[in-house]
Amino acid sequence: MTELDFLFIYEHKVRELENLCLMKYELDRRGYRTKIVYIDDAYNAMQDRPIYHAKVVCTMACYDNYTLFWHTKEFVKFEKVIDLQWENIVYVKDENREDAYKNYRGIGKDVVHVSWGQQNVTRLLKAAHLNERNIKLTGHVGMDFLRSPLNRYYLSREELFPRYDLPLDKKIILFASPYYGDQLSQDYIKGMCERFGDDWTEYYKFMCDSQQIVLDWFEKVCKENPDIIVVFRPHPGHPSGVAEKLSNRYSNFRIISGESVKQWIVTCDEIYTGNSSVVVEAFFAKKMCQLLFPLPTTPGFELKLITDSMKITSYEEFRQSVFSGNQEFPTPKESIEEIYLIDWKTPNYIKFANMAEKVFQDDSYRLTRKQLKDYKEYNRDEKRVRAFVNTPVIYDIYLSLLKDQKLQSNFLRNQRRIRKEKYDYLREFEKQHEHELTSEEEIDSIINRIKYALEDRDRQEKIK
């Protein structure tokens, strides 16, 4: 079993990996043992017993027992949990609703939660009723990449655009899609309704209808001016069939999912989005960003910071912004400060590492045996299986019998079939999400770029 101090588990690579690498860099620098893994890694999911022992598991989210088990399955044994809360911003209708999905239940009430700003702290205290000492105000680590010296981490326009066959001499417009694509299954929609209310179907319709209108706007721009290139960035994990058709019709409409959205923000000429926190990333990057709202948002689903913002609601306004520009940032600084901690003195990744170090060292944050047992909501048969797996001598004999192909019996053949079907399913699922996988080489590459941005600056300052 591999011993770790911190195990980071991510869901969407483009949303989380760079941020996790920055956290890992700082904790490694302080002498801690860390690792980053994908939440649906097939090898980890196949494990019947822990292959890692981590003092602290850092999750993408931890809303309830199921969310934590989705992260940890059986492959990791741990003592403490830090919920990184990459979905820190909630729908307005859920801000004060105690039974809202993102206001936590079960094990979610007991772990440590990262908060980006005071608004989220207030929600966790008043609506989720969390213990104040478990709420850690650190700011959003990802925003550190948009401030000096870490902004040197990103590729320049000259380095990035050739990788995606984008011309250097043309105007590049980024549309960071806030929409959940247009290919959601009924099961997915049902699940979202169970979490956020039956009116989520209305919100999904709003997204689909808005996407169609906004893409019509971009089509007109692409058709009118071939020297303008539109980079459509799908919402993580949600491809768009309408956008695919548009990209097939126009060579200057490109769908690109690679790289983080921040990488595209710092290199593109203009940025557009909608009901999304991308506008905040543009703010920290000191880049102009416009908000496209051809339709009114379904009541209760508009983000608070968007409610206070100026919006483009017609094609005429949109076209004018593309060809003549609009120099007024749409979201008031005060609205951003309410949701995102702004501290130009101490980077957020340092605040996070200081907090994580305290959680690591303070045993009062350890989950109890009962908490660690109860979050795995096994049924009766599953409990029997776990009792069998947790008896090492018997289980090791069982595994050796399965491996010995000379041994044949109905029981062994059935067990081999069940395990193979499970493995094949997990491998197929992983294959479908191959774009989310990372490697030690990729992680090392990202950390080396972080080192260049941070440590090279330090060396230059010492020379001066």
pLDDT digits (tens, 9 = 90+) for 307-356: 889 999 999 999 999 988 667 899 999 999 888 998 889 999 999 999 99
pLDDT of residue 462: 47
What would the 3-class secondary structure string for the chain be?
Answer: CEEEEEEEEECCHHHHHHHHHHHHHHHHHCCCCEEEEECCCHHHHCCCCCCEEEEEEEECCCCCHHHHHHHHCCCEEEEEEEECCCCCCCCHHHCCCCCCHHHCCHHHHCCEEEECCHHHHHHHHHCCCCCHHHEEECCCHHHHHHCCCHHHHCCCHHHHHHHHCCCCCCEEEEEECCCCCCCCCHHHHHHHHHHHCCCHHHHHHHHHHHHHHHHHHHHHHHHHCCCEEEEEECECCECCHHHHHHHHHCCCEEECCCCCHHHHHHHCCEEEECCCCHHHHHHHCCCCEEEECCCCCCCCCCCHHHHCCCCECCHHHHHHHHHCCCCCCCCCHHHHHHHCCCCCCCCHHHHHHHHHHHHHHCHHHCCCHHHHHHCCCCCHHHHHHHHHHCCHHHHHHHHHHHHCCCCCCHHHHHHHHHHHHHHHHHHHHHHHCHHHCCCHHHHHHHHHHHHHHHHHHHHHHHHC
pLDDT of residue 416: 87
Q: Per residue in 104-139, pLDDT tens?
A: 999 999 999 999 999 999 999 999 999 999 999 999
Count of structural domains within the chain: 2
Can you give the pTM of this predicted structure? 0.87
To the nearest whole percent, how much of the chain has pLDDT over 90? Answer: 73
pLDDT of residue 424: 85
Check whether residue 322 and residue 184 sit in a common domain. Answer: yes
Answer whether residue 458 shows pLDDT above 70.
no
Check whether residue 175 and residue 324 sit in a common domain. Answer: yes
- Name the residue with tokens 């980053």: 36
Instruction: Please state the rounded mean pLDDT for residues 407-420.
Output: 86
Among 339, 366, 388, the domain boundary falls at: 339
Asked if residue 318 belongs to a domain, the reply is yes
Answer whether residue 249 shows pLDDT above 60.
yes
Check whether residue 256 and residue 163 sit in a common domain. Answer: yes
Give the pLDDT band of residue 399 (cuts 50, 70, 90).
confident
pLDDT of residue 290: 95
Among 324, 339, 354, the domain boundary falls at: 339
Give the pLDDT band of residue 422 (cuts 50, 70, 90).
confident
Check whether residue 356 and residue 335 sit in a common domain. Answer: no
Asked if residue 288 belongs to a domain, the reply is yes
Which domain, by its residues, includes 304? 153-339
Q: Per residue in 183-193, pLDDT tens?
A: 899 999 999 99
Answer whether residue 463 shows pLDDT above 50.
no
Check whether residue 300 and residue 188 sit in a common domain. Answer: yes
Among 291, 319, 339, the domain boundary falls at: 339
Asked if residue 389 belongs to a domain, the reply is no
Check whether residue 185 and residue 326 sit in a common domain. Answer: yes
CATH number for position 162: 3.40.50.2000
Asked if residue 425 belongs to a domain, the reply is no
Check whether residue 65 and residue 183 sit in a common domain. Answer: no
Q: Per residue in 79-90, pLDDT tens?
A: 999 999 998 888
Asked if residue 250 belongs to a domain, the reply is yes
Mean residue pLDDT across the chain: 92
